[in-house]
Amino acid sequence: MRKIIHVDMDAFFASVEQRDNPELRGKPVAVGHDSERGVLTTASYEARRFGVHSAQSVQIAKKLCPQLIIVPVRYAVYKEVSQAVHRIFSDYTDLIEPLSIDEAFLDVTENKKGIGLAVDIARDIKRRIREELQLTASAGVSYNKFLAKIASDYRKPDGLCVIHPDRAMDFIAGLPVEDFWGVGPKTAEKMHRMGIFTGLQLRRCSQQHLREVFGKMGQIYYNFARGIDNRPVETDWIRKSVGCERTFEEDLFEPGQLQAALCHTALELEGRLQKSHFEGQTLTLKIKFHDFTQITRSLTTTQVLRTKDDILPLARKLLEQVSCSPGRRVRLMGLSVSNPRSDEMHRGEWVQLYFDFEF
């Protein structure tokens, strides 16, 4: 039986800011760009009690929590702390799969310290993060990645939860489908219309029906409802996309403004592609309107996309598919390249690949 731990740093960016500035401790803090068009990257637990959360407009957050303290993003600091956390992980196992800058899976079935119980390893990792970095993390322990991830979210913050194989089916039975990995708001809404609200109700659906409704994900949901997840902890990741976004100081709708913004975004994307040594064959345009509704348009080509000259003509074709007007103004524009050729996939250390800029 495998022993998998999922470790998730608690309100990571905000917690680092509170650690480094004692005056912020115990106060509602958010990290982001404090401007009319700014968006938050994370919020402390004190701020979350007011309904403040990541990816939220700064203006909305301030209305929910007038006393909110917004501090600027310090990615270099967060990356340094993340590397320190991973050095702690590596004292126990080399089988580490980073999911992002603040969370990772660890396979401790065979571990460097010869510790028999995974929960003891998780407890020791949490202790060291607290003592060495003055931060807290939540950890989940189980026999696969799906359940370990669910467990780490179960008792946040500073939580530790174990889902034993003998109790897994009962645990999953009472789990809201919204908590299943891979079930977003739209999928949850579709499940609700089908009368599926819990893991037990999902388990009662046939494999064929789930595949008919949800395609390939239907098989995954079928397996998850039964506690099945055979994915290994992968120490090498495959970079799948590189992109950038621009949030405008004022909403745009005039064609000339949008074309200029598209050119700037394509140029920024070219720099990101070169820096990460990435190339792909699919270009995706993301547009967010003034009412926060958003659309994406994609185009796949037989040629690889490396430079602005490769990207911009395709981006213009995608923009032609978007209807903009004074009543449907654009708040944000993003471009990303994905679909790398299989013989040119690049492996390496995890890095932040999607960026959000004020324009």
Residues 128 and 173 in one domain: no
Residues 3 and 124 in one domain: yes
C-alpha 117 chain-centroid distance: 29
* pTM given for the model: 0.74
Could you tell me if residue 231 is inside a domain? no
Residues 151 and 116 in one domain: yes
Residues 12 and 59 in one domain: yes
- Written as six digits, the tokens of 324 are 């903009």
CATH number for 141? 3.30.70.270
Cα distances from 155 to residues 152, 263, 281, in angstroms, run: 7, 46, 42
**Domain count for the chain:** 3
Residues that are catalytic: 103
Per-residue pLDDT tens digits of the chain, which is 359 residues long: 899 999 999 999 999 999 999 999 999 999 998 888 788 999 999 999 999 998 888 999 999 999 999 999 999 999 999 999 999 999 999 999 998 899 999 999 999 999 999 999 999 999 999 999 999 999 999 999 999 999 999 889 999 999 999 999 999 999 999 999 889 888 999 999 999 999 999 999 999 999 999 999 999 999 999 999 999 998 866 667 899 988 887 899 999 999 999 999 999 999 889 887 888 999 999 999 988 888 999 999 988 999 999 999 999 999 999 988 888 999 999 999 998 865 444 444 433 333 333 33
Of residues 21, 22, 13, 143, the one with CA closest to residue 78:
13
Rg (CA), the chain: 22
- DSSP one-letter code for 250: E
Residues 255 and 342 in one domain: yes
**Residue 310: which domain range?**
237-358
Residues 201 and 305 in one domain: no
The beta-carbon contacts of 36-43 under 8 Å, at least 24 apart in sequence, are 36/249, 37/247, 37/248, 37/249, 37/331, 37/358, 38/70, 38/247, 38/358, 39/247, 39/356, 40/70, 41/13, 41/73, 41/356, 42/11, 42/12, 42/13, 42/14, 43/11, 43/14
Residues 28 and 48 in one domain: yes
Residues 218 and 272 in one domain: no
Residues 43 and 188 in one domain: no
Residues 270 and 125 in one domain: no
CATH number for 302? 3.30.1490.100
Residues 334 and 206 in one domain: no
The Cα 314–Cα 309 span in angstroms is: 9
Of residues 73, 1, 63, the one with CA closest to residue 30:
73
CATH number for 174? 1.10.150.20
Of 162, 187, 215, the position where a domain reaches its end is 162
Residues 125 and 5 in one domain: yes
Could you tell me if residue 299 is inside a domain? yes
